[in-house]
Chains A and B, each alone.
Chain A
Amino acid sequence: MSRARLILIISLVVFFFGSVFGDSFKSSVFAYNYDILMTIGVNIILAVSLNLVNGYTGQFSLGHAGFMAVGAYASATWSNNLDPILVNALGGPANLIAVNLAFFISMLVGGVLAAVTGLLVGIPSFRLKGDYLAIVTLGFGEIIRTAILNTDFLGASRGLSVAGAYTNIFWTFGLTAICVYVVLSLVHSTYGRGFLTVRDDEVAAEAMGINTTKYKVIAFVVASFFAGIAGALYAHFKQFVTPEGFNFFRSVDIVVMVILGGMGSTVGVVLAAVSLTILPEILRALSHADLLPPAYNGLLENRLILYSLLLIVLMLTRPQGLLGELNTRRQRLNRRHGGL
C-alpha cells in the first residue's frame, strides 16, 4: 500500500476516535473552540479544492461559494425531507450507524449536485481565458445565489433551517483528509501533468494534442464536488443557511486563502486556511482586550479591509504566497517533481 494511502487510513482512524471522545465538547464550555475547529475543516476543504482549479490548473474561478451553496442547500433539503424516512428505515434515530449513513448519503447528494453544477458551469466557461473566466465564474456564482434567493421552497430570503446536526469531528476532518488525498493523488498522476501543462502554457498544450478543455473541466468538477461536500458539512453544523452567506465575499475569502497559501501548494493552502480561520477570532479577542481606542476596533474586526490589503501586499511583494512557487521558466525547468 502506498505511503499516502496508509497515512489516509491512519488519519481516518485517528479522527474516528477523536470524534468519539471530542464530540461531547460540542455542547460544553468548549463549544466555541469546537465551532472554530469545524470551520477550519470546512475552510480547508474549500481552499484545497479551489487550489486544484486556481493553483494547479491556472484557471481563475471566483464563484466557488456558489458550489458550496448548491451542496449546502441540496443536502439540507434532502436531510430535512428524506432523512426521517431513511433513518427510520435503517434502524431509527437512536441508531448511530443509521444516522451517519443517512448523513453520508445526504452529503453525497450535495456533492454530486454541486459537481453537476460545476460541469454545467465549466463547459461553456472554459473557452474563456484569465480575466473573462474570472468574471463569468463570478456571474455564475451570483446567478446560483439569486436562483436560491428566488426559490420559495428553499427558504428564499428567510433562510433554511437544517434539522440534523450531523457534522462531527470524524466527518469534517475525515473528509478533509480525503479531499487532500484526492487532490494530491490527482496532481501526482497523469491528470496532474495535464493540469500543470494547462497552467503553464495552454497554447503549447493544445499544440501537443492535449485536450485542455477536458483537464480544465475535470479539475473544476472535482473542485465543485468537494465544495458541495464542504457546503453540506457547513449546513449541518450551523443548522441554518441563507443565500447571503454564499455571496461573492465568501468566494473572495476562499480565494485569499489560496493566494496566501501559494497557488499550487496544497500544504501552503492548508496552512493559510487554518490561519485565516483563526485570525478573525484572534482579532475578536484582541478587540475585547481594549488595545486600541474603541473607535478603531472596527478596523481590527473588519476582515475585508485586512484581506484586501493582504491581497495587494502579497501580489506586490510575494506573489507565490507562503509556500507556492514562482512561476518562472527557470524554476519550471529545475523542478524534478511537481510541487506538494
Chain B
Amino acid sequence: MRSLLTGLWVTALLCCWSVAARSQIKIGAVSCLTGSLSTFGVSSIQGAKLAVEEINSGGGVLGQQIELIVEDNQSKTGESATIARKLIGQDQVIAILGDLTSSSTMEIAPLAQEAKVPLLTPSATNVAITKAGDYIFRSCFIDPFTGQMMAKFALDHLKAKRAVILTDVKQDYSVGLTEAIRQYFTANRGQVVREISFSSGDTDFRAQLATMRSVRPNVIFLPAYYTEAALILRQAKQLGITAPFVGSEGWDSPTLIQVAGKSADGSFYTNHFSVADPAPTVRKFVHSYEAKYHVAPDALAALWYDGATIVCEAIQRADSTDGAKVRDALASTKNFEGVTGRISIDENRNASKPGVVLTVENGQVKMVQQVLP
C-alpha cells in the first residue's frame, strides 16, 4: 500500500513538473469533450482541429507548425480554471481558444487577462465575458444581438404582436436571451403577455403549455437548447397550439427534428450559419469537414473553425508570438471572411457579424433570411 502511494506521488510529480519546451507555436483549446455537453464540445474541437490542420498544411504560421493543445473540462465547473492555469503556466500557450459555454469562459477570462494571454471564445454569448479585460475576445455575436434578431423577425416577418417567452431558468444562455428579446419586443410595440419558465432536464412541459394555451399568443419565443425545445414543440402541437415558435442557435442539431418530427415544421430559429449556404467558403468547409469526420458540420464546428483561423491569422499579422502584439492584431481584425460570415472585431472585442434565420419545412432546415449587424 505504501509503495503504491509513493509510486502515485512520484508519477504525479513527474507529470506535473514537466515544463514543456517551446518549439512549436502552441494554442490551447478548452471545451466539453465528455459529460453532458459533449455533443457540442466534440463538434467545436473538430472544427478547430480542421482549421489548424488546413493552416499547417499551408505552411503553418510564421513558418512554424501550430500545435493545438486540446483539454476537456468534462462539462464540470471548476475544471476550466485548472485547465487554463495548466495551459498558461505549464504549456505556455500563446493564445487560448475557449470555452464552450459562458459560465466556463467567465471562469477563465480573468486568469487569461491576468496572465496577459489572449483568449478568444468562439461560442460563449454572455455579454459580461469581454468585460473581463482587453485580452478577452469573442468571435460570435452576443445575446443582445440574437435576441434582437428573434424579436425583429417576429415583429417584421411574422407580424406578431402578442408573445410568450419560454425561458429555461437553469441555463444562463436562455435567461440572457429572454432579457434581450423582451427588451427589443416591448420597445417596438410588441406585448409580452407571459413569461413562462421551465428547467433543462424536464421532459414534461404540459403544465406550462396548458397555461400558455390559455393566453393565446401569436408567437412563442423559445431560446433554449434542442433537448428541451424538441419536446416542447411536440407537446405544444399535441395540445393544439398553432402559434409559430421562434428559437435560437441552441436548437441547431439534427436531434431536434428527429425527436420533434412533424411538430418542428413551421418553426423558425436563428443561427450563426446555415449548412446549406451556397457561398463558396461555406461549401468548401462543409466538404472538408464531411470528408474528415463523415458527418455534416453544425454551427459550433463552424464557429470554432472560424475562431481558430482568426487566432492563427492574428498571430501571422502580429508577426510575433508576443502576447501584447497578438492581442493588438486580434483587436484589429476587420472583414475576416469566415464560414460564419464576414467578421469584424468591434471596440468591445465582440464580433460584428451576420446571423441567419432558418425555418423547418417538411423535416428540412431552410434559410429564410440573413441578418446583417
Asked if A and B form a direct contact in the complex, defined as CB atoms under 8 angstroms apart, the reply is yes
A122 → chain B, closest Cβ, in Å? 27
Binding-face segment, B69-77, B238-246, B267-275: B69-77
Residues of A within 8 A of B82 (CB): 32, 35-36, 39, 281
Are A149 and B8 in contact, CB atoms less than 8 angstroms apart?
no
Q: A-contacting residues of B (Cβ < 8 Å)?
A: 1, 5, 8-9, 11-12, 15-17, 19, 33-34, 69, 71-72, 74, 76-78, 81-82, 85-86, 88-90, 92, 102-103, 106-107, 110, 114-115, 126, 128, 169-172, 175-176
Interface of A is mostly: helix
Q: Is A80 engaged at the interface, CB distance under 8 Å to the other chain?
A: no
A-B contact pairs, 24 of them (CB 8 A): A27-B114, A28-B89, A31-B89, A32-B16, A33-B17, A33-B89, A149-B169, A149-B170, A156-B172, A156-B175, A157-B103, A157-B170, A158-B175, A159-B107, A234-B78, A238-B78, A240-B103, A240-B107, A242-B77, A271-B5, A278-B12, A281-B82, A303-B74, A322-B1
Residues of B within 8 A of A150 (CB): 169
Are A301 and B74 in contact, CB atoms less than 8 angstroms apart?
yes
Contact of B16 among A27, A36, A161, A298 (CB under 8 A): A36
Residues of A within 8 A of B114 (CB): 27
Residues of B within 8 A of A322 (CB): 1
Per-residue contact bits, chain A 210-247, to B (CB 8 Å; 1 contact, 0 not): 00000000000000000000000010001111101100
Contact of A34 among B17, B85, B169 (CB under 8 A): B85
Residues of A within 8 A of B74 (CB): 301-303
Contacts beyond the supplied A159-B77, A159-B106, A288-B69: 5 A-B pairs with Cβ under 8 Å? A32-B89, A158-B172, A238-B78, A301-B34, A301-B72
B67 → chain A, closest Cβ, in Å? 11
Q: Is A30 engaged at the interface, CB distance under 8 Å to the other chain?
A: yes
Contact of A35 among B33, B81, B115, B126 (CB under 8 A): B81
Are A239 and B110 in contact, CB atoms less than 8 angstroms apart?
yes
Residues of B within 8 A of A271 (CB): 5
Q: How many chain-A residues does the 8 Å CB contact rule pick out?
A: 42
CA distance A302 to B9 in the complex (A): 21
Query: Closest chain A residue to B91 by CB distance?
Result: A32
Are B77 and A284 in contact, CB atoms less than 8 angstroms apart?
no
Are A238 and B107 in contact, CB atoms less than 8 angstroms apart?
yes
Q: B-contacting residues of A (Cβ < 8 Å)?
A: 27-36, 39, 149-150, 156-159, 161, 234, 238-242, 244-245, 249, 271, 275, 278-279, 281-282, 284-286, 288, 298, 301-303, 322
Are A29 and B71 in contact, CB atoms less than 8 angstroms apart?
no
CA distance A34 to B115 in the complex (A): 15
Leading 5 A-B pairs by shortest Cβ distance? A245-B77, A31-B89, A32-B86, A285-B15, A31-B85
**What is the number of contacts between chain A and chain B, taking CB atoms within 8 Å?**
113
Residues of B within 8 A of A30 (CB): 89-90
Are A27 and B175 in contact, CB atoms less than 8 angstroms apart?
no
CA distance A35 to B74 in the complex (A): 17
Residues of A within 8 A of B126 (CB): 158
Are B172 and A157 in contact, CB atoms less than 8 angstroms apart?
yes
CA distance A26 to B67 in the complex (A): 25
A169 → chain B, closest Cβ, in Å? 15
Supposing A35-B82, A275-B5 touch, asked if A242 and B88 sit within 8 A by C-beta, the answer is no
Are A29 and B19 in contact, CB atoms less than 8 angstroms apart?
yes
CA distance A66 to B88 in the complex (A): 32
A198 → chain B, closest Cβ, in Å? 29
Residues of B within 8 A of A238 (CB): 78, 81, 107
Are B106 and A240 in contact, CB atoms less than 8 angstroms apart?
yes
Residues of B within 8 A of A234 (CB): 78
Contact of A245 among B5, B78, B128, B175 (CB under 8 A): B78
CA distance A246 to B9 in the complex (A): 28
Query: Closest chain B residue to A302 by CB distance?
Result: B34
CA distance A30 to B103 in the complex (A): 25
CA distance A302 to B90 in the complex (A): 23
CA distance A242 to B79 in the complex (A): 12
Supposing A32-B90, A242-B103, A301-B74 touch, asked if A156 and B169 sit within 8 A by C-beta, the answer is yes
A326 → chain B, closest Cβ, in Å? 16
Are A32 and B85 in contact, CB atoms less than 8 angstroms apart?
yes
Are B17 and A159 in contact, CB atoms less than 8 angstroms apart?
no
Are B115 and A27 in contact, CB atoms less than 8 angstroms apart?
yes
A301 → chain B, closest Cβ, in Å? 6
Residues of B within 8 A of A158 (CB): 102-103, 106, 126, 128, 172, 175-176
CA distance A35 to B107 in the complex (A): 14
Contact of A281 among B16, B103, B128, B171 (CB under 8 A): B16
Residues of A within 8 A of B85 (CB): 31-32, 34-35
Are A157 and B175 in contact, CB atoms less than 8 angstroms apart?
yes
CA distance A67 to B71 in the complex (A): 30
Are B12 and A244 in contact, CB atoms less than 8 angstroms apart?
no
CA distance A39 to B102 in the complex (A): 23
CA distance A29 to B5 in the complex (A): 26
Are B77 and A282 in contact, CB atoms less than 8 angstroms apart?
no
Contact of A282 among B5, B11, B81, B89 (CB under 8 A): B11
Query: Closest chain A residue to B168 by CB distance?
Result: A157
Residues of A within 8 A of B9 (CB): 278
